Amino acid sequence: MAVEAVRATSDTKVAPWNDPVIRGWVFQIVVVGLVAALAWYLVSNTLENLARQKIATGFDFLGREAGFAIGDTMIAYSPADTYARAIWVGILNTLRVAVIGIILTTFLGTIIGIGRLSPNWLLARICAIYVEIFRNVPLLLWLFLIYKLVSEAFPGPRQAIRMMGDTVFLSNRGLYFPVPIAAPIHKWMGVGLIVGIVGAWALHRWATARQARTGEPFPSILAGFGIVLAAPFLVWLLGGAPSAMSWPALKGFNFEGGTVIQPEFAALLLGLVLYTSAFVAEIVRSGILALHKGQSEAAAAIGLSRGQSMRLVLLPQALRVIVPPMTSTYLNITKNSSLAIAIGYPDLVASINVTINQTGQAIENILIIMAAYLTVSLSISAFMNWYNKQIALKER
């Protein structure tokens, strides 16, 4: 009876307006149509407004002369260069602060996160207070505070704080320090550094394999650092050890020679690192706490020290929990570096902002911002997803 009844209902024709498939398509077409209508309305308004304000469209402006100066550049740039180059300088500045920020934040955040779990009550408390203070106040406020302190509390160039026998100068213009004058050997030292890193990695693999086979440990990390440092040094010696340095010296109202860490860059980096490491600390802490208590007890039972058990047993397992939220934290650092505009560090958004004000071509410039950040974000996500696969639990 029941079977027949079911068959009977499934055979009956469903009216088209009650068919879920047809209803779904109608609904989708209506929604997409509404979105398209809205988009058409906005675009037609925009075109009309642009025509009325006599603003050009298209990306031709990229080839024109930018005409604005940028205070802190990694590549040669002058106001006579094109908008494209000005924007490229901005992208490089964004990448510089993001990459250095990510590395420093990871270190500081991990240390503080582990510190919160320390058996030393005072250390754990201080790390907890650090986390609460930094993550409950806006990043922008930290940036302003640090920047104002750097630019107002440090003396002017003439009264600069002199260190290391008048070779390093700290003033409100930044930290000036000597650098070697460019020599051809520096390129080969770079090659030496890469060779050293590859060598250290090979040594570490060999040492791990040997320890697994024979049980004999080898201080591969220490030796690896030695190799990484020694290789470029050897190249330098072989190249005749050129030691000509460019020394900073006070000329008029500012320093010349040497190189400088500018206060805007320092304030942005410091603010980003201090603020974000509070979040990283929480991620690391919760990653370690997510592990079963037996893991640390077992590590202690086989005689590992606290440092060893953290490095060999707890952190590698905690990484599996830590990496996904860490990825979004890295993306946040990259995106938050755009706050640079508030304290005058010339990052991508700052360059674009000036370009918008000068050319009036807002849409093209916003598209450039979106494309640039999406590229960076997707690259970071892709790399972190690859890394996440590497450390994931290998199950049969």
Partner 1 sequence: MTDLAQSGDAPRPKMSPPADQTGIVGWLKRNLFSSWGNSLTTIVLIACVVWIIDWFIDWGLVNATFVAANGPECGKNAGACWALIGEKYRYIFFGSFPYEQHWRPLFACIAMLAMLLASADRRMWNWRLLVIWSVGSFVTFLLMFGELRFPLTIFLIVGLVVGGVGMGLRAGIASPREMLTYRVLAIVGGVGLAGRIAGVIPAWGLEINAFSYVETGLWGGLPVTMILATYGLVFAFPYGILLALGRRSNLPLIKGLCVGFIELIRGVPLISLLIMASVMLPLFLPTGSNIDKFLRALVAVIFFAGAYIAEIIRGGLQSLPKGQFEAADAMGLNYVQSTTLIVLPQALRVVIPPLINTFIGFFKDTSLVLIIGIFDFLNTANQALVDPNWAGFPGEVYLFAAAIYFIFCYSMSRYSKYLEIELNKGTRR
**Residue numbers of the site for partner 1 (CB under 8 A)?**
24, 27-29, 31-32, 35, 42, 45-46, 48-50, 52, 119-123, 126, 132-133, 135-141, 144-145, 148-149, 152, 335-336, 338-339, 341-342, 349, 352-353, 356, 362-363, 366, 369-370, 373-374, 377-378
Shortest spacing between CB 118 and partner 1, in angstroms: 8
Contact 192, 234 (CB under 8 A): yes
Q: Is 15 helix (H, G, I), strand (E, B) or coil?
A: coil
Shortest spacing between CB 317 and partner 1, in angstroms: 23
Phi, psi of 251 (to 5 degrees): -125, 110
Residue closer to partner 1 (CB basis): 106 or 337: 337
Residue closer to partner 1 (CB basis): 255 or 275: 275
Shortest spacing between CB 48 and partner 1, in angstroms: 6
Residue with tokens 């570096």: 337
Shortest spacing between CB 34 and partner 1, in angstroms: 11
DSSP assignment of 18-41 equals G-HHHHHHHHHHHHHHHHHHHHHH
Residue closer to partner 1 (CB basis): 52 or 394: 52
Shortest spacing between CB 107 and partner 1, in angstroms: 19
Shortest spacing between CB 285 and partner 1, in angstroms: 14
Residue closer to partner 1 (CB basis): 204 or 335: 335
* Distance, C-alpha 69 to centroid of its chain: 25
Residue closer to partner 1 (CB basis): 228 or 340: 340
Residue closer to partner 1 (CB basis): 238 or 370: 370
Query: Which two tokens mark 35?
Result: 């979105």
Contact 174, 262 (CB under 8 A): yes
Shortest spacing between CB 6 and partner 1, in angstroms: 14
Distance CA 349, CA 368 (A): 10
In 3D space, the residue among 256, 307, 269 whose CA is nearest the CA of residue 103 turns out to be 269
Distance CA 114, CA 291 (A): 14
Contact 196, 232 (CB under 8 A): yes
Residue closer to partner 1 (CB basis): 137 or 391: 137
Residue 345: what residue type? Y
CA dihedral 276, 279, 285, 290 (to 10 degrees): -130
Residue closer to partner 1 (CB basis): 8 or 212: 8
DSSP assignment of 125-188 equals HHHHHHHHHHHTS-HHHHHHHHHHHHHHHSPPGGGPEEETTTTEEEETTEEEE-EEPP-THHHH
Residue closer to partner 1 (CB basis): 125 or 162: 125
Q: Give the number of other CB atoms < 10 A from CB of residue 275.
A: 23
Distance CA 87, CA 207 (A): 46
Shortest spacing between CB 341 and partner 1, in angstroms: 6
